[in-house]
Copies of this chain bind each other. A is one copy, B any other.
Amino acid sequence: MAVRFARRMEGVRPNAIGDLLRHGADPELVSFAGGYPAPELFPIAELRAVYASLLGGDDRNVLQYTVSHGLPSLRRHIAARMTRDGVTCTPDEVLVLHGAQQGLDLVAKLLLDPGDVVVTENPTFLGALIAFHPYEPVFAPVRMDDDGMDIDDLERVLAANPRARMIYTMPDFQNPMGVTLALERRRRLVELANRFDVLVLEDSPYRDLRFEGGWMPTLKSMDGEGRVVYLGSFSKTLVPGMRLGWAVAGGEIGAKLGLLKLAADTQCSTLNMAAASAYLDRYDLDAHIADVRAAYRRKRDLMLGILRESLPARVGFTNPDGGLFTWLTFPDGFDAAAFMRDEAMPRAKVAFVPGGTFYPVRQEPNHARVNFSGVTDEQIVAGTTRLAGLLRTVLGG
């Protein structure tokens, strides 16, 4: 059959993520390409107890269908956690999702007609570009620096794009750069969203993974007009394999997202939602997160210490206050993808994500995303040392 696919499929193409996942499975390589949490930190004993107890009782509802917005007990837990984080909300405003990724798909589906403009960070999360593409948007990227989006540039971009419908941002420990949106910029971003009447999609899967620096309010907590949709995730705090995230959105936006969730896949796994809820009943997730934070801070320090000492001076890197990634910037004209393919992988047995893929419009070739969460300390030391050494050879000291 020579299928004629829908027009939206023109933007849907194979991309680096699948290949990267395959790299992650190759045992010979030290791969800094993933975005995986550290499996040694998974609370597997607690989860074993939770599943045993859920499946050892007489309540077979944990294996049955439930309501499409998600198990009420889990929504109450999420609403309480969000409220403690400054986002006062009710369980009715929480929609349980298959990871924050599903929120990217559903919000784009809710909002975007072909040709509508999505304002993004530049670079931005590749998974968001993948989720948005089928809705045929035009991307309007905003300049980034060490404090996140350049808000003056954001204002120019919004003014230049009357079809802008939303600002997509990861304010906390951004993927891929690791940078965090400064407090005053948060206020200005929400003001600009109000002024230009656009939705804000605040994607914050790493928010709880802060290593240092003070707590910062979410954009959603500054939202006086119900125009921020917040996306959270248990993938980086609990485990990815339960596939649970959530959206916080009230009013008509929340109601319509709920209808799209029902249309897309009816509901999340009842059993996994019940397990997350039981985990939150019985255990101290924040104490667990404190352990995760400490471990990732150590990994970050280990990696950044080597980068600081061994990278050629002409290679820059960000100093993330949390999250999973640092972002390397090579000299102008450096092709990070060719370097990885021709040098880093064969000669140093190191992989990363060449940065070009994170740019929605004009790809900058001279960057790399480097992950420190999903690798062991030994891999960090060996891989970072080999990578830095190779770069000194290639670029000079």
Within 8 A of B (CB), among A238-284: 239-243, 251-253, 255-256, 259-260, 262-272, 274
Question: Main secondary structure on chain A at its contact with chain B?
Answer: helix
Instruction: Determine if A65 is an interface residue (Cβ-Cβ < 8 Å).
Output: yes
Q: Are the CB atoms of B264 and A105 closer together than 8 Å?
A: yes
CA of A65 to CA of B374, assembled, Å: 11
Q: Are the CB atoms of A199 and B1 closer together than 8 Å?
A: yes
CA of A63 to CA of B343, assembled, Å: 33
Instruction: Determine if A56 is an interface residue (Cβ-Cβ < 8 Å).
Output: yes
Copies in the complex: 2
Q: How many residues of A contact B (CB 8 A)?
A: 84
Instruction: Determine if A64 is an interface residue (Cβ-Cβ < 8 Å).
Output: yes
Q: Are the CB atoms of B264 and A102 closer together than 8 Å?
A: yes
Instruction: Determine if A52 is an interface residue (Cβ-Cβ < 8 Å).
Output: yes
29 contacts between A and B (CB under 8 A): A1-B225, A1-B251, A3-B199, A8-B109, A8-B113, A9-B256, A17-B262, A39-B63, A40-B60, A44-B63, A48-B52, A48-B56, A51-B51, A63-B239, A63-B242, A97-B265, A98-B268, A102-B265, A105-B265, A127-B266, A130-B259, A131-B263, A131-B264, A239-B271, A241-B274, A242-B271, A243-B269, A264-B264, A269-B269
Chain A contacts to B: CB under 8 angstroms: 1, 3-9, 12-14, 17-18, 21, 36-37, 39-40, 42, 44, 47-48, 51-52, 55-56, 60-68, 97-99, 101-102, 105, 109-113, 116, 127, 130-131, 133-135, 165, 197, 199, 225-227, 235, 239-243, 251-253, 255-256, 259-260, 262-272, 274
